[in-house]
Structure 1
Amino acid sequence: MAETMIDVKEAVNAAKEYISTFFGLDSVLLEEIELGQDNIAGSEGSWNVTFSYDDSPDFAYPKKRKYKTVIIDARDGKFRAIKIREIK
């Protein structure tokens, strides 16, 4: 039997909801989406969705952006983790 997966739109919507719920961030930009490997089963198991947000006071220029990656289970759309994404 073939395993079903949530699609990319569902993953992004779920990830954005978690960012808003946990951090109160409503004004975020979608930066990256990746279908990641599941380390346990060796299959495509998670959506890694990266958002950026402005972390500067209103008067500060240039604006400083920070990044967070939300990991969503590709099979059921449930939350797995939120990580800080460092940009070098």
Structure 2
Amino acid sequence: MLDVKEAVKVATEYIQTLFTEKQIPDLRLEEVELSPDGKFWDVTLSFVSRESSPYLSLGEAAKTREYKVFRVNAETAQVQSMKIRRF
């Protein structure tokens, strides 16, 4: 079974295969949780993205943080899903 560090590594490597480095600046680990049945790790990663609004076109105001939750199978180390995490 994967431990927490291995699950985070799997999710981080997976997101890097989906996006270019330009698309995932300032990648951060936000949360990790083992499912109640112990079969999956839910790993939340975030990164900075730019808004495409003309009103938010300057500096830090144009940046927002996106959150993605990766469900990693604790036995096979395969990513089962990626979802948008909303607050």
TM bucket, shorter chain: 0.7 to 0.9
Deviation of the 1:44 alpha carbon: 1.0
Task: Report the equivalent of 1:51.
Answer: 45
Task: Report the equivalent of 1:31.
Answer: 30
Unaligned runs of 5+ in 2: 52-57
4+ residue segments displaced more than 3 Å: none
1:10-25 to structure 2, matched below 5 A, reads: 10-24=6-20, 25=24
Matched residues, number: 78
Q: TM-score, normalised on structure 1?
A: 0.78
Q: Report the AA paired with residue 34 of structure 2.
A: L
Pairwise CA RMSD: 1.8
The structure that is helix-richer by fraction is 2
Q: TM-score, normalised on structure 2?
A: 0.79
Indicate if the aligned counterparts of 1:30 and 1:52 stay in contact, CA closer than 8 A: yes
Q: Taking every aligned residue pair, what percent have the same amino acid on both sides?
A: 38
Deviation of the 1:62 alpha carbon: 6.5
